[in-house]
Chains A and B, each alone.
Chain A
């Protein structure tokens, strides 16, 4: 909390599994570099609030409930070359895009194709599902988790985004995980 220029490298945040548990809680953190960390099986991998210009690179987010939760007032963060695998929700987001950048990450839920075989998917990936957006607005709707209706609205939102921020997307999603 309330710190500047922190480097977090090669840490393992693991098994923080409970209703009020976090892997990493960032509040009022500026200009931090978070490189090469493992976030495995946390309810919330990273919870970021009021944190600006944070670089996430080469991190693994595996089997988390939420991989990263941006709670608001987060400006200019960069998420590049991270692996997001089998998370219930990859990103939860409130408000506008605020200059945050998602680029060249691997998303296990990505279902696009790669025609020119350059290992970069040809269709942008939108990490915020409609259900994750709704849960952010009204936390109680989480009781509908894994219901068929939720799958249907997620799918229709994926086909034509209406509610989720339009430019919150990864334009160059990777086809294979980052080593």
Chain B
């Protein structure tokens, strides 16, 4: 598997997209820091971008990579290599190269602008960690979708729909449910509902670390009580890991049974 992983990382490094992606982050980081020069404020602005863009790019890139490397996959399948090895190798290759682009692209400008002297260093690293986790989650979901649909267009459409659901529609549904059940105590519900969406969970995790968490009021206090403890933090990271583990298991399961 390591060999396949290595090959797919090399393959992606040779391709244009991971460069474009990291250059995009590089420019983004420099522009943000150039405009407000304050590392801790830039981290807050970065939050919105990481939460929306990394899942989107992970989804599109995952689907694209699967469909584009189909010929190579078929060639590999003719060799005496286990199927799970091939697909998991490709999946990890794609997600690792995307996460690397993210970490390097955003890391360089922040280090240049004096991240290590700033108090925001811990927030910045948790932001990068969450960005990387989101990349792994959404590439895994995209791979699942691509494995399930022969048709490229269907696969793309469905993948975009999944991203749309987690990034926007889920929040809409949550908002409507909360407004309708206004008369009931909703704190526990809000806590539970955010757990089932990796994007919401990451957003709350980062918000709680920032000053702005005071705005969350009583509900925020419930969240803080839960995520503030080490148990809650482990639970959150564990939940995000579950979002990686189950799709990966399904990739392994699906790839064994797929007809080529």
List chain A positions with a Cβ less than 8 A from chain B.
17-19, 21, 43, 65-66, 88, 134, 137-150, 152
Which one of B186, B203, B221 lies within 8 Å of A19 (CB-CB)?
B221
What are the nearest 7 A-B pairs in CB distance?
A149-B171, A140-B186, A65-B215, A147-B171, A143-B190, A149-B168, A140-B219
- Which one of B72-80, B106-114, B175-183 is at the A interface? B175-183
**Contact (Cβ within 8 A) B212 A137:** no
**Total interface residues in chain B, CB < 8 Å:** 34
**Contact (Cβ within 8 A) A144 B174:** yes
Which one of A18, A147, A150 lies within 8 Å of B214 (CB-CB)?
A18
Question: With the chains together, A17 CA to B216 CA distance in Å?
Answer: 12
**Contact (Cβ within 8 A) B214 A19:** yes
**Contact (Cβ within 8 A) B171 A43:** no
Given contacts A134-B179, A140-B187, contact A145 B168 (CB under 8 A): no
Q: Does B52 reach chain A (CB closer than 8 Å)?
A: yes
Which residue of chain A lies nearest to B179 when distances are taken between CB atoms in the complex? A138
B217 contact set on A, CB distance < 8 A: 19, 139, 142
Q: Does B88 reach chain A (CB closer than 8 Å)?
A: no
Which residue of chain B lies nearest to A64 when distances are taken between CB atoms in the complex? B215
**Contact (Cβ within 8 A) B215 A142:** yes
**Contact (Cβ within 8 A) B171 A138:** no
**Contact (Cβ within 8 A) B168 A141:** no
Given contacts A19-B220, A149-B168, A149-B175, contact A138 B186 (CB under 8 A): yes
Q: Does B228 reach chain A (CB closer than 8 Å)?
A: no
**Contact (Cβ within 8 A) A17 B214:** yes
Question: Which residue among A19, A137, A150 has the maximum number of chain B CB atoms within 10 Å of its CB?
Answer: A19
**Contact (Cβ within 8 A) A152 B168:** yes
**Contact (Cβ within 8 A) A143 B223:** yes
Q: How far is the CB of A106 from chain B (nearest CB, A)?
A: 20
B171 contact set on A, CB distance < 8 A: 144, 147-150
**Contact (Cβ within 8 A) A139 B175:** no
**Contact (Cβ within 8 A) A65 B214:** yes
**Contact (Cβ within 8 A) B182 A137:** yes
**Contact (Cβ within 8 A) A148 B187:** no
Question: With the chains together, A148 CA to B203 CA distance in Å?
Answer: 11
A88 contact set on B, CB distance < 8 A: 212, 215
Query: Using an 8 Å CB-CB cutoff, how does the interface string of B174-202 with A read, 1 for contact, 0 for none?
Result: 11001100100011011000100000100
